[in-house]
Amino acid sequence: MQIDTSAAPVAHAPRPFYRHLYFQVLCAIVAGALIGHFYPETGEALKPLGDAFIKLVKMIIAPVIFLTIVTGLAGMGTLRGVGSVVGKAFGYFLTFSTLALIVGLITANVIRPGAGMNIDPATLDASKVSDYAAKAHETSLTGFVMDIIPSTMTSAFVEGNILQVLFIAILFGIGLILIGDKGKPVVALFEAISHAVFRMVDILMKAAPIGAFGAFAFTIGKYGIASVVNLATLVGTFYLTSALFVVVILGTVCMLNGFSIFRLISYLKAEILLVLGTSSSESALPALMEKMEKAGCRRSVVGLVVPTGYSFNLDGTNIYMTLAALFIAQATNTDLTLQQQILLLLVAMLSSKGAAGVTGAGFITLAATLSVVPTVPVAGMALILGVDRFMSECRSITNFIGNAVATVVVSRWEGALDREQFDRVLAGNDGAEVDPIHDLHGAPAGLRLNEARAD
């Protein structure tokens, strides 16, 4: 007797561990570190691999943000829903960004990583940080706000400015809401295009191990482990503070909202390792949006919270700024009163907004902060220039995790979180680790997984 198995579910054998993206990226980081340490010249020469991968990802960020936001907003149907998400997101950003600055300030006063160095600011080579200081002087609150408005509709996409793309996408999405049914064909078209764009993201993620290998080999080859040892107290304090912020503060937020920070980190481990390897949280931005939506967060919330958070919710950068500023003050024997430290905190609150999640942005915003508070010598930044790259990795990871938590929390506040789907995904029972390019027995990764397809 022949048994019809056409409707029977197909059992999938788990993929070998070496095919998982997180394992490949981890191996690439280790290999890059070894090459950079034992063959530093070769490590430096591998820099184009990391640069090329980041460039590939940045190429796709603008269309991902635009399509996700436009289709998400159009799906809301009302302007009240848009205002509610934006209001809650910015309330969250302001609260935890400020808290991160305060944590950095308190840690610097308690541990005092720069105490006893007795550096004379006159002996420091200010030319090493002159380029960063020049960029910082170009940045002002008015200039930042004006920069959100693009010169033309297309220039935002050409230049890859996240905030400008966000601005255009929100306006376009609101326009589709206002015209009602007339906009449905446009939304349907953008939905179809987004499927192809997310497939591109999945293809590009295949190159993540190569990018992480090149970027990490360059970092170790150029700066060396010795540069970390010389300022081990500062680097160690920053890493410890960031870890405590994630585990204690963000962990508490997660617990109050009914989920575990550790399970969320485990779900995003491949992207976190990618951020570690490339020192850029932007390298994982498209993947974060894709995985947050897959975890049950509504597309409209993901589209608004994630890209906005990349400019306004930079927990790691904020911890770094107050901690590094006080380290420089302590190392140069610059005494700061409580009032001066509060002023430093207030200035940092403004200068940190709009910093992009790319390598070096934290250093530039630190220069902007110190230039407004002249009590701390800007030349003192030369002390930490050699280890800034290593701290950039921690900044980026903390920023990344902070934005992932913000997305889930705001989604829950909005009633836009599929809790059953979220719990299944975080428990690892929903096929979260699919092949980055194609799952032979299911929907293509990156698309809405509830759509049927014919094999």
- CATH code (residue 256): 1.10.3860.10
170 near 73, Cβ under 8 Å?
A: yes
| Most distant pair of Cα atoms in the chain: their distance | 92
438 assigned to some structural domain: no
Compute CA 409 distance to the chain's CA centroid, rounded to the nearest angstrom.
Answer: 16
Dist. CA 69–CA 169, nearest whole Å: 6
- Does the structure show a pLDDT above 50 at 455? no
376 near 370, Cβ under 8 Å?
A: yes
227 near 37, Cβ under 8 Å?
A: no
What's the mean pLDDT in 160-175?
Answer: 85
| pLDDT (0 to 100) of residue 3 | 46
Dist. CA 173–CA 364, nearest whole Å: 33
| pLDDT (0 to 100) of residue 405 | 96
Report the chain's C-alpha Rg in angstroms. 23
What are the Cα distances from residue 386, in Å, to 128, 223, 229, 252, 435? Answer: 10, 7, 11, 34, 38
Dist. CA 317–CA 100, nearest whole Å: 9
Alpha helices of 231-260 — where are they, by DSSP H? 232-244, 251-256
Model pTM above 0.85: no
DSSP 156-171: HHHHT-HHHHHHHHHH
**Structural domain harbouring 396:** 27-426
11 assigned to some structural domain: no
342 assigned to some structural domain: yes
Top-confidence residue, 437 or 267? 267
14 assigned to some structural domain: no
Report how many domains make up the chain. Answer: 1
Dist. CA 24–CA 112, nearest whole Å: 38
| Token pair 């927990």: residue | 315
401 assigned to some structural domain: yes
What letter does residue 357 receive in the DSSP assignment?
A: S
Q: What is the pLDDT of residues 203-241, one digit of tens each?
A: 888 888 898 898 888 888 887 777 666 678 888 999 999
Please give the structure tokens belonging to residue 142.
């008015």
What letter does residue 120 receive in the DSSP assignment?
A: -
For a pLDDT cut of 90, what percent of the chain falls above it? 23
446 assigned to some structural domain: no
What's the mean pLDDT in 189-199?
Answer: 88
Dist. CA 46–CA 215, nearest whole Å: 7
Dist. CA 37–CA 380, nearest whole Å: 28
Of 293-307, 311-325, 348-362, the poorest mean pLDDT is in 348-362
338 assigned to some structural domain: yes
| Token pair 């159009």: residue | 74
**pLDDT tier at 143 (50, 70, 90 boundaries)?**
low
Dist. CA 378–CA 322, nearest whole Å: 14
What's the mean pLDDT in 72-82?
Answer: 77
**pLDDT tier at 245 (50, 70, 90 boundaries)?**
very high
Dist. CA 256–CA 248, nearest whole Å: 12
307 assigned to some structural domain: yes
**pLDDT tier at 266 (50, 70, 90 boundaries)?**
very high
Amino acid in position 67: L
